[in-house]
Structure 1
Amino acid sequence: MKENIKLGLILLLITGIAGFLLGGAYEITKAPIAEKVAADKQTAMKELLPKADKFNTVDVNAKDKGKISEVNSALAGTDIIGYTINVAPKGYAGPIELMVGISSDGKVTGMKILSLAETPGLGANAPKPEFSGQFKNKPIKEKLEVVKIAPTKDTQIEAITGATITSKAVTLGVNDAIDFYNSSLKGDKK
């Protein structure tokens, strides 16, 4: 009996020390990770709207919070030249965080995948230019649709072979960003 108590106390001591060390590692790495995420976000915004001098966060209406996680206006001087809109549609293996750039003249300037956990070799190919590059300069008047053959219309996106669910999820996210722009941001050029 005494031996069991002694072993239990040793185990408790070991787990307490391990928990303390993990907590310390978290505190040490928390700030650098947050800085890296912010820097990656700035880089993505600049890639999507390269003519912008700065980006300002825009408040998102509570009813849009479900689909839209963040909106930033892109400014050239004092003029708004477009927006970056962050969405996270559900893909095959979980949410796909992406940022969509839309210019004030009514075109998708591009799409950048910030994070995903899709199947390696299939859905994980979504960030590659062969797929993600298809969204550049797409019009925002009609919904984009996924097709399994070469696109014949300007509103079509060719699916990634073997990853139709991921392709549809990303396209849905871009469509959600377009809908939000058309309903809440279009014409807002302060």
Structure 2
Amino acid sequence: MKVKITAKEVLKPALSLFVFCLVMTLLLAGTNLLTKDMIKEQELKTEETARKVVFASADSFEAKDGYFLALKDGETIGYIFTTEADSYGGALKVMTGISEAGKVTGVSILSIDDTPGLGMNAKNESFRGQYLQDVPAAGFEVVTDGGAGEGEINALTGATITSKAVTTAVNEAVSQFNNLKAGD
């Protein structure tokens, strides 16, 4: 027995699927168009809050080319850098404050998409607080034995990739700081 398939039997479901996909695409594009300004505004608020966290002693901030100056009574007391690194769950965005004297004043994770309960622990103060020390000339190093000394960061248990990614981002800020200070 031979089964005959007509063009109508093929085209009708294909056309229905095409129309459905087209409508969904238009709805998603419209939603994106309506929310993109709100998303950008929320990102700016998050970054403003993070600047206050990574440099709490500053009373204002001034945008420069690729970084922010942390100011107190109009005088520069430090710098704030936003850097990125590749982590376990994708791109990781970190904001780092560094004082004029070369001490990290704060580290804030702006975006991370790592494993909950492991890599996401990088947001915890117990991890981020390890960076609050003088900037090592060669940058920070991640250690896994739990015995971090000066210039070293204890890796998060089960999240060494995330620990190294945060450290890479902080070290990029350190590099930008060193380049900035070398140009003074």
**CA apart distance, 1:186:** 5.8
Could you state the TM-score of these two structures normalised by the residue count of structure 2? 0.85
For 2:162 and 2:10, how far apart are their aligned partners in 1? 52
Query: In the alignment, which residue of structure 1 is the partner of 2:4?
Result: none
SS at match of 1:95: strand
Is 1:85 the counterpart of 2:81? The answer is yes
Q: 1:110 to 1:128 in 2, by over 3 A?
A: same
Contact map agreement 1:48 1:100 (CA 8 A) in 2: yes
8 Å CA contact 2:148, 2:154 repeated in 1: no
- Which residue pairs with 1:36 in the alignment? 42
Say whether residues 1:130 and 2:126 are aligned partners.
yes
Give the aligned partner of residue 148 of structure 1. 144
Q: In the TM superposition, what whole-angstrom CA distance separates every residue of 1:31-63 from its partner, at most 9, and x where no partner exists?
A: 11111110000000011112323322222xxxx
Q: Mapping of 1:91-102 within 5 angstroms?
A: 91-102=87-98
In the other structure, the counterpart of 2:180 is 184
> Which SS does the other structure have where 2:174 is aligned?
helix
CA contact (8 A) 2:140 2:153 kept: yes
- The Cα of 1:170 is off from its aligned counterpart by 1.4
SS at 2:86's partner residue?
Answer: coil
Distance 1:10 1:91 in 2: 41
Identify unmatched segments of 5+ residues in structure 1.
60-69
- Distance in 1 between residues matched to 2:158 and 2:141, nearest whole Å: 17
Post-superposition shift, 1:11? 2.9
Cα deviation for residue 94 of structure 1 reads 2.1
Per the alignment, residue 55 of structure 2 pairs with: 49
CA distance in 2, matches of 1:6, 1:172: 54
Q: Give the Å deviation of 1:114.
A: 0.9
TM-score normalised by length of structure 1: 0.83
Quick check: 1:104–1:186 contact (8 Å CA) kept in 2?
A: no
1:143-189: CA deviation from partner (whole Å, max 9, x where unpaired) = 2222223445321211111222221221122122112101224675x
**In the TM superposition, what is the alpha-carbon distance from 1:82 to its structure 2 partner?**
1.0
Distance 2:159 2:21 in 1: 42
Q: Is the 8 A contact 2:136 2:151 kept in 1?
A: no
Deviation at 1:71, TM superposition (A): 1.4
Amino acid at match of 2:150: D
Which of residues 21, 37, 40 in structure 2 aligns to 1:15? 21
Q: Point out where structure 2 has 5 or more consecutive residues left out of the alignment.
A: 1-6
Paired with 2:170 and 2:82, the residues of 1 have a C-alpha distance of: 9
Query: How high is the sequence identity, in percent, across the aligned residues?
Result: 40
| Distance in 1 of aligned mates of 2:182 and 2:62 | 16
Partner of 1:163: 159
Give the aligned partner of residue 117 of structure 2.
Answer: 121
Give yes or no for contact 1:98–1:112 (8 Å, CA) kept in 2.
Answer: yes
1:112 aligns with 2:108: yes
